[in-house]
Amino acid sequence: MAKLYRPTYRKCVGGKVVEKQTAKWYAKVKINGKRKAIPLTTDKRASEIMLADMLRQEAMGQVGAVDPFAASARVPLSQHLADWQASLRYEDASEKHVVAAGKVIERFMRFAGVTYQNDANKDGVSSFLARKKAKGDSPRTINWTLATIRAFFAWMVRERRIGANPTDGIPKLDERLDVRRRRRPLSEDEAQRLIDAADRSVRRFRRLSGPERGALYVVAMATGFRANELATLTGDLLDLDAAVPTVALAARSEKNRAGTTQPLPAWCVDRVRHLAGIAGRLFPGTWHERAADMLAADLAEAGIALEVGGRVVDFHSLRHTYVAALRRSGVELGDAMKLARHSDPKLTLAIYGQTDLAGLADAVNQIRLGRGLGHAFGTKANEGERICAIGGGMAHRENAPEDAGILEFSAADQGIPPARLERATCRLEGGCSILRFPAENDNSRDGLPPAWTHSDPRLAALVAAWPTMPEAVRAALHSLAAAVDRRAA
């Protein structure tokens, strides 16, 4: 039977020998048939719990039920962290990633008071993430922190060092609710101006000359490669004389560690042909560590704004530019996803497939309204009333007089705020069509051409709400307004 006790010792005090007890409690436990004194703690209750745990483990061992994680539980978590970082290096993770991941785990350990693996729990991780959120970290940063801690303990589970991952059940935050950096792609004109400005530049940025930066931007926008991937390219990875010119990316250099061979567009081949003869790295130096600063300087020389409408341009925007160019060229989503090397089409659409205002205006300009303009009409909704949703491809126009002015569309489909214009209706009255809107619309006439001042104010509200109205729509509305005015007269 194990016994909990405090040993005594003798000490000379004032010329007298007195007997004292140790501050720490001990337990006598039989190990391998021999009794051994095991030091516990200065707290008796805690020592009782520790003793009970030792007796439980001894009993389990007698029946062959040994705790498989007992040995690793006695190893400081900092040692497990060092082992995890060593495994990351073995898997060819970048040193930057290894160091950053280690710092995250160390900060968590300090905050939660974690010394051994059994000290880590779900509440500690949640509190650590909540503190980062309170300090103003973005959802994207918090999710990356959670992913790092989760990866560390997942490795411990795989290595059979711990029984369960303490991050299980902790959800990620919705990054769409608080986006701190919205990137924009460069237009075709901006891309050309950037390359020309770099080619003319006499500045060097971390060993890269102006023409070398120009070639770098060409390859970046022709392949969609990331800065760290571009920094690893060598001349032997270019195959410009094949039937399909390509550039290869080694698996260890690619983000998803799969490796890829990317086809190059024809316009890019001659521009980068001189790179094929380079034996070493095509773009040497440490420029990729400050790629955003390098690009910002060249954008300034090209006269291109870094931020437009709250959306910024950084080096990763060149990757956006690549995928945006694929979209403008009519490349199918599946092909664009493969070329962008995304595993999820949602990423291709949500992050890289944004359409700017100019692109939306081009799409709207494809709309055709009125008789003889190729518009497809469906069946009528109610007698004498027609409702149209151009975006959905349906409209209603039947039994209309030959001289009726026809203008039928859904304002919401043209990007007009639903709160202002939810759906327009068109009714035949006296041989002409009258456009009607919900009563709560803004009826302001500010800034409207004189031709609109005598028409229905709700019709004027449409023009105010749609400043980029295509000329064909404006002409049709003008004709309708004139018909309404004649009717009123």
SS in 3 state form for the chain? CCEEECCEEEEEECCEEEEEECCCCEEEEEECCEEEEEECCCCHHHHHHHHHHHHHHHHHHHCCCCCCCHHHHCCEHHHHHHHHHHHHHHCCCCHHHHHHHHHHHHHHHHHHCCCEHHHCCHHHHHHHHHHHHHCCCCHHHHHHHHHHHHHHHHHHHHCCCCCCCCCCCCCCCCHHHCCCCCECCCCHHHHHHHHHHHHHCCCCECCECHHHHHHHHHHHHHHCCCHHHHCCCEHHHEECCCCCCEEEECHHHCCCCCCEEEECCHHHHHHHHHHHHCCCECCCCCHHHHHHHHHHHHHHHHCCCCEECCEECCCCHHHHHHHHHHHHCCCCHHHHHHHHCCCCHHHHHHCCCCCCHHHHHHHHCCCCCCCCCCCCCECCCECCEECCEHHHCECECCCCCCCCCCCCCCHHHHCCCCCCCCCCEEEEECCEEEEECCCCCCCCCCCCCHHHCCCCHHHHHHHHHCCCCCHHHHHHHHHHHHHHHHHHC
Question: According to the model, what pLDDT value does residue 172 have?
Answer: 92
Which pLDDT score is estimated for 391?
26
Residue-level pLDDT at 214: 94
Q: What per-residue confidence (pLDDT) applies to 459?
A: 54
Give me the pLDDT at residue 377, please.
28
Rounded CA separation 76/83 (Å): 11
* pLDDT on residue 407: 40
How far apart CA 350 and CA 155 sit, in angstroms, is 31
Q: Tell me which CATH code domain 188-354 carries.
A: 1.10.443.10
pLDDT of residue 330: 79
> For every one of its 489 residues, what pLDDT tens digit does the chain have, with 9 covering 90 and above?
577 888 888 888 877 888 888 888 888 877 666 777 888 888 888 888 888 877 777 676 655 556 677 778 888 999 999 999 999 999 888 888 899 999 999 999 999 999 999 899 999 999 999 999 999 999 989 999 999 999 999 999 999 899 899 999 999 998 877 777 788 899 899 999 999 999 999 999 988 999 999 999 999 999 989 898 899 898 888 888 888 899 888 777 666 667 788 899 888 888 888 888 788 889 998 999 899 999 999 999 999 999 888 889 999 999 989 888 888 787 887 888 888 887 777 667 655 555 555 555 555 555 544 433 222 222 233 333 332 222 222 233 333 333 333 343 433 334 444 443 333 333 333 333 334 333 333 343 333 333 333 344 545 555 555 555 556 566 666 666 665 555 555
Quote the tokens at residue 45: 């209750």
Domains 77-177 and 188-354 share a fold: no
Domain ranges of the chain: 3-67, 77-177, 188-354, 366-488
Distance CA 135, CA 128 (A): 11
For the record, the structure tokens of 396 come out as 């209603």
Query: What's the CATH code, domain 77-177?
Result: 1.10.150.130
